[in-house]
Amino acid sequence: MKYTYVLCTLLMSIYSFSYAQVQDSVIVDSMYKEVERAYKLFDQFDYGEAIKISDQVIAYASATENDHLRAKAYNVIGNSYYNTGNINLCFDFLFKSRDYFLKSDDVGNAIKVTSDIGVTYRELDSISTSNVYFKEAISLGRASQNKDELIYPLYNYARYLHNVEKDYDNALIYYNEAYRLSKESTLVKGRSIVGYLYMRLSDVYFEKGDVENYMFYFDESVAYAKQYDFYGILATLYRTQSERYSEDENYQDAFLALRSYTQVADTIYTFRELEIAKEIETKFRNKDNEEKLFLANQEKEKQAIAFKKSRVSNIIFIIVSVILLLAVYVIFNKNKQLKIAKEEAEYLSNVKSKFYSEISHELRTPLYAVIELSKLLLKENVNSSHKEYLESLNFSGNHLLSLINNVLQLNKVEAGKMTVEFLEFKPKILILDIVESLEYAIRDSNNKVQLVYDATIPEVLVGDSLKLSQILINLISNSIKFTSNGTIIIRVKLVETIGDEVTLYFAIQDDGVGISKEGQEKIFEEFYQEHSKTGNSFKGTGLGLSIVKRMLDAMESEIAIDSAEGKGATFSFELKVSKSSKAIIKDEDLKDLTKGLAHKKVLVVDDNKINLLVTKKILDQYDITSQVVDSGEKAITLLEDTSFDCILMDIHMPELDGYETTKIIRDNGNRTPIIALTAASTEEIEDKINRQLMDGYILKPFVTADFIEKIYDTIATTEIV
């Protein structure tokens, strides 16, 4: 009996020990999977989530003294801090990672981290120090049996030879060695380094003039980036290819590459927007949970007070005193939390505003190239099939611009920053331009558009033409969407004139599917859609009519609707504007303006080569002499010994932006008129433009006639002064 007991105890001990080992193995495996997930998030630019996961892994690895797991997590955090610009923290975590990898005899990953340290020194312009680490990593890799991570220092040192030394032949030696490793190693498969390697190989062969190898590695890098969703690599590839085609004046292929770039850039923007939305949603969810917890605690305290009422008076007094003190503390703490929440909300609002401002420029800039280049090509002698493609491209660009404007206007409404501007405009030309931009959609839905325009309306008015344009685009697009094989009537008439104030009546009438009475009460709500996709119409965002109402509210007007299901719809509103003393410029006047500019010299400053090409082509069309430079520094140098009659200055440029460049030009005593070319909204730039002594601005994309008129007026005004 005694031996049986001992045997049972021994078996139970062995089982417990084995079970514990299995459990530990399962946890360790899950931690390694978490690290790999963090690497994947890092490759997809989600640095915040990558750091969060790695911190959790480090906590476990430190508790269990797992040096190898700790090294991998430190590596993710170090590289994430590098990509977010925190170099000091980056060094701290990378050196820790390297030490722990060496301590755990993982030479392969030690090679990679040593290479990453070299990259960080390169970021600080310590080129000689960075090369020391690259060569050290290469030596470690070549002497080791594990060569999987050797691809990193080979790539980084080859990039130095390629970009800095311009030593293409020696750079290819290291690139090709890295390329062979990318094909032999299964470990690096799926990592972004391979995509960048293929892209750099295509670059170096392009610079050597080897077109066959350039296209081979370009196609390979595109296929790899698409396979593993590396959108940043794809965007760089398409943008670079578009610029190269443009330099060769191969505008058709440049268009195709630019369109691919725009699609990828839109995908990246969507991912980043969703990430911001998730962050905001999480913060508000936490706040809601805190409030529910607070209410639950209050209820619990009330029940405790009711239970203790039967006690003696001195105990009641003590409890009431404690509760009062606790209530004071809770109120104080709650006010503190509300203050913190308010500060966080204000911070997020500022971040959101800056984000929308930046994305406004980043999206409108390529759209300027798409819209203007398609216009230029449509004026050339193209065959019917190509003309259809170009019209489709031009419409798509204008439609995308309208959607972007809707989103940006919605942001201004939410931030309380929507203001009314007063600009001179020609109402009839504005409406005709809108109809022309929607011509493809009108033809696609087999509709006809009629304009009934009151001839007594003054030719030039003063008002917020940008908002009026957006309102009419949204209303006409809405009619096109829900009307097939029908007629859309645009009515504009003069209601009254009192002094310089003019009241106009606008109505957009269609014979489409109409709107139900219930739908009319909701149609101006954000994201509400009365009908799903019908016929040839396209499904929208549900923002158009909401933006219309918000804009008209800001302009002290209101939208009216008259509709019934199956009987079409009419949207109408009145708008107060002012008369202008400025005369309208007709076609013959525009020709006179261009003749007056024929002997003038214009300098175009823009870091985007495609935008330079577009602007120069437009000026060439009107026989205006122009010269282009791609940076503020080059413009300043050129102006030292060359005079111009006008300068067209892009605002957003690296190193020296348009404002800083203008300031230096003015400080040098140069008073040449400077017109800002920008894709940003007017509220953001007007004050800065005035402070930097610029002479005006033109928003991209622009109407060509307004563009020429602005240049003429600016030069003429300066000459008079």
Mean pLDDT of 618-628: 86
Tokens of 157: 């040192």
Distance CA 469, CA 676 (A): 22
pLDDT of residue 6: 45
pLDDT of residue 544: 76
Report residue 654: phi and psi, to 5°. -70, 160
CATH class of the region 420-579: alpha beta
pLDDT of residue 335: 79
* Torsion (CA) 294, 299, 305, 310 in degrees, nearest 10: -170
pLDDT of residue 649: 93
463 forms beta bridges with 423
Nearest 5°: CA angle at 693, between 688 and 694?
Answer: 80
Res 286 pLDDT > 50:
no
Res 5 pLDDT > 70:
no
Contact between residue 349 and residue 415 where contact means Cβ atoms under 8 Å apart = yes
Res 287 pLDDT > 50:
no
Res 721 pLDDT > 60:
no
626 forms beta bridges with 602
Residue-wise pLDDT tens digits, 467-485: 898 899 889 988 998 899 9
Provide Rg for the chain, Cα atoms.
33
What are the extents of the domains in the chain?
Answer: 1-105, 420-579, 587-720
pLDDT of residue 622: 80
Residue-wise pLDDT tens digits, 653-678: 888 988 999 999 999 999 999 999 88
Mean pLDDT of 122-139: 86
Residue-wise pLDDT tens digits, 507-536: 999 999 988 888 887 888 766 665 544 444
pLDDT of residue 493: 95
Q: State the average pLDDT for the chain.
A: 79
pLDDT of residue 2: 46
Res 206 pLDDT > 50:
yes
Flag the least confident range among 53-57, 282-286, 639-643.
282-286
Percentage of the chain surpassing pLDDT 90?
18
Tokens of 395: 């419409």
Contact between residue 364 and residue 372 where contact means Cβ atoms under 8 Å apart = no
pLDDT of residue 557: 92
Identify the burial level of 200 via C-beta atoms within 10 angstroms of its C-beta, where 0-12 means exposed, 13-18 middle and 19 or more buried: buried
More confident residue, 13 or 676: 676
pTM over 0.75: no
Length of the chain counted residue by residue = 721
Tokens of 211: 């077109």
Residue in 80, 73, 31 with CA at minimum distance from that of residue 54: 73
Q: Quote the DSSP letter at residue 542.
A: S
pLDDT of residue 537: 42
Sign for the CA dihedral angle at 499, 501, 503, 504 comes to positive
Which of 2-16, 265-279, 368-382, 581-595 is most confident?
368-382
Residue-wise pLDDT tens digits, 384-424: 767 666 766 766 766 676 666 666 665 655 555 667 777 78
Long-range CB contacts for residues 101-109, cutoff 8 Å, separation at least 24? 101/68, 101/71, 101/75, 103/67, 103/71, 104/67, 104/68, 104/71, 106/68, 106/71, 107/140, 107/144, 107/146, 108/141, 108/144, 108/146, 108/147, 108/148, 108/149, 108/187, 109/71, 109/72, 109/75, 109/149
Contact between residue 514 and residue 473 where contact means Cβ atoms under 8 Å apart = no
Contact between residue 74 and residue 92 where contact means Cβ atoms under 8 Å apart = no
* pLDDT band with cut points at 50, 70 and 90 for residue 147: confident
* pLDDT band with cut points at 50, 70 and 90 for residue 639: very high
Mean pLDDT of 576-602: 71
Res 538 pLDDT > 50:
no
Quick check: helix, strand or coil at residue 382?
coil
Distance CA 245, CA 255 (A): 9
Mean pLDDT of 3-11: 47
More confident residue, 338 or 701: 338
Nearest 5°: CA angle at 232, between 649 and 213?
Answer: 95
Mean pLDDT of 336-362: 68
- Please report, as a single letter, which amino acid is at residue 32: Y
pLDDT of residue 269: 57
- The CATH superfamily of 1-105 is Tetratricopeptide repeat domain (1.25.40.10)
Flag the least confident range among 65-69, 155-159, 541-545.
541-545
CATH topology of domain 587-720: Rossmann fold (3.40.50)
More confident residue, 706 or 639: 639
Mean pLDDT of 476-502: 92
